Structure 1
Amino acid sequence: MKRWIFAVTAPIVLIGQPLHAEDEKAKQEAEALAALTEAFHVEPLAPEARARLPLATEIIEQILPDGVMNELVGSMFDRILGPVAKMAELSGPKLADYVGYSESDLGLTDEQVAEVAAIVDPAWQVRQRRTLEFTQGAMIDAMAAMEPAMKRGMAEAYAEEFTQAELAGIKAFFSTEVGTSYARKSYRLSSNPRILSAAMSEVPRLIDGFAAMAEGLKEAQADLPAAKTFDTLHVSERARVRELTGLADEELRLGMETAAEQAARKSPF
């Protein structure tokens, strides 16, 4: 009942407080960004490394000439996500995307699922293709925006990791015809079909290993007490959770059962 009342009244409340809601959202986003930035904070370069930074920056400009990240994203889409998207299109629509239930929940055939999708969203195939195309363009734009920062970070890393003599040798190599070719092609090689094919050939072995990994995870957690269920909560604990969440007993029971099912499905193996 509380959820129903909230669902009906929330829009009315929000209409009266649009600026407050926007301010609160912006505050939360700023706090999350600040926490993320702090998690990856690094100390300033030491004086010796800072002295090597100009040479390191020249090397990074050779390794990552302007536009190479755009080429990398385009290559990734063409060689990896393109085939995946084609497979998804050939496999047909997913019933849950349209009615909230899976094919197995309702026992529908592929033909019936396709008919439902055509009724609910006649343009689902076009929508899927346009989503992929838009995503590719958005990622290219994002990488273009990130490229200067990535170059700056790589230059600092090179300045920190290599000596002046090593940096000079690296620059000399990348100044050659072979070095220039390597710099231009090395990032694209990460999505080379041969490398991808070799990696995919190991997927069956990886999947076979998941069972052993799952057992290993169970052993690693064997000494931990199981998370409590609604029924194993003490009366006082249940009352406190109800007080904190505002949920009634049946809502809490259902929610905890659903959470346990989702946790089981979210196992990394």
Structure 2
Amino acid sequence: MASAPLALTFGTPAAAQDAESEEDVMAMMAQMFPVEPLTPEEEARLPISQEIIDKMIPPGTLGEMMGSMFDGMMGPIMEMASKASSGDVAKSLGVSAYELDLNEKQLAEVATILDPVREERNAAIGAVMPAIMGRMMDAMEPSMRKAMTEAYAITFTDAELQDINAFFSTESGLSYARKSFTLASDPRVIGATMEAMPAMMEAMANMESEMEAATADLPPLRAYEELSPGELSRISELTGLGLEDIKTGMMAASEVSE
């Protein structure tokens, strides 16, 4: 049962069914992070920036670096994923998770009945994930190297880049350059993040009420009844939805939000 979320997380056939829509989403995501052209001064710093990035991520090694990092993370992740969840069991049974009142042992029994090879399935998925992630990193490496080179050229002055490059040219500096990129995956760092999660959630506990207070002086979203015929027609024209579809959808959305 736990294999379902893994498969969904790392790619499913459905992800390739609408290539045009996916390209639109990717284009929209790219537009969310517009970049300014480099200035002549920044362009001049690109060569030394490239030297630094080459020391941090030698060409062709990003997949290997990320693969070793992923190997260290996969054990705990797969152990967690191998446990049956009420959400997975409920999905297979076609019911809501709220309708199930099962303890961990009962969940595991139901999950095994539904998928007798659940553990083998999870193990197989876990075995291929490093290779899949490695290919993803290999595909991403040229763009990442270019972006990091430009980011260093923008962020640091000539003198700072010279100092960084000089340090990275030492034995200790080169070791740091290679290892710093994957330090975020150290079990201590990941564990500390998990330990801090309850405190983070507590800090976010009042987020909804604070957001409501911040927007209290603003009018609420307009309901279907508040839209003029002209506005409804324009929405229909822009979205391709029929007027009746718009009415039905907005009325349903209004009921859900109440």
Query: What's the TM-score, normalizing by structure 2?
Result: 0.72
Render the CA deviation track for 1:229-257: whole Å, top value 9, x for unaligned: xxx7539879x6995353896x8755654
Aligned position for 1:131: 125
8 Å CA contact 2:224–2:247 kept in 1: the answer is: no
8 Å CA contact 1:49–1:159 kept in 2: the answer is: yes
Q: How far apart in 1 are the matches of 2:226 and 2:145?
A: 58
Render the CA deviation track for 1:157-214: whole Å, top value 9, x for unaligned: 2222333332222211111111111111111211122223333332222222222333
Q: How far apart in 1 are the matches of 2:70 and 2:30?
A: 29
Q: How far apart in 2 are the matches of 1:39 and 1:252?
A: 27
Aligned position for 1:85: 78
8 Å CA contact 1:75–1:191 kept in 2: the answer is: no
8 Å CA contact 2:224–2:251 kept in 1: the answer is: no
8 Å CA contact 1:71–1:188 kept in 2: the answer is: no
Render the CA deviation track for 1:69-119: whole Å, top value 9, x for unaligned: 334433443444431331232355631231122443143454544344333
Aligned position for 1:6: none
User: % of aligned pairs identical?
Assistant: 39
Change (3 A) 1:179 1:40: same
Aligned position for 1:213: 207
Written as runs of structure 1 = structure 2, the 5 A alignment for 1:2-41 is 25-41=18-34
8 Å CA contact 1:103–1:113 kept in 2: the answer is: no
Write the letter of the residue equivalent to 2:66.
Answer: V
Q: 2:187 aligns with which of 166, 175, 193?
A: 193
Q: How far apart in 1 are the matches of 2:250 and 2:30?
A: 36
Aligned position for 1:152: 146
Write the letter of the residue equivalent to 2:245.
Answer: G
Q: What are structure 2's unaligned runs of at least 5 residues?
A: 1-16
Aligned position for 1:53: 46
User: Are residues 1:222 and 2:221 paired?
Assistant: no
Q: Residue 65 of structure 1: SS of its match in structure 2?
A: coil
Q: Residue 208 of structure 1: SS of its match in structure 2?
A: helix
Change (3 A) 1:219 1:81: farther
Q: CA deviation at 1:46?
A: 1.8
Higher Rg of the two aligned structures = 1
Change (3 A) 1:233 1:154: closer
Deviates more, 1:166-175 or 1:189-198: 189-198
8 Å CA contact 1:70–1:140 kept in 2: the answer is: yes
Q: How far apart in 2 are the matches of 1:173 and 1:188?
A: 19
Q: CA deviation at 1:58?
A: 1.2
Aligned CA RMSD, in angstroms, stands at 3.4
Q: CA deviation at 1:63?
A: 1.5
Q: 1:42 aligns with which of 35, 49, 66?
A: 35
Render the CA deviation track for 1:135-178: whole Å, top value 9, x for unaligned: 33222211111112211111122222333332222211111111
Q: 2:137 aligns with which of 133, 136, 143?
A: 143
Aligned position for 2:8: none
Q: How far apart in 2 are the matches of 1:166 and 1:236?
A: 58
Q: How many residues align?
A: 232
Write the letter of the residue equivalent to 1:83.
Answer: P
Q: Residue 217 of structure 1: SS of its match in structure 2?
A: helix
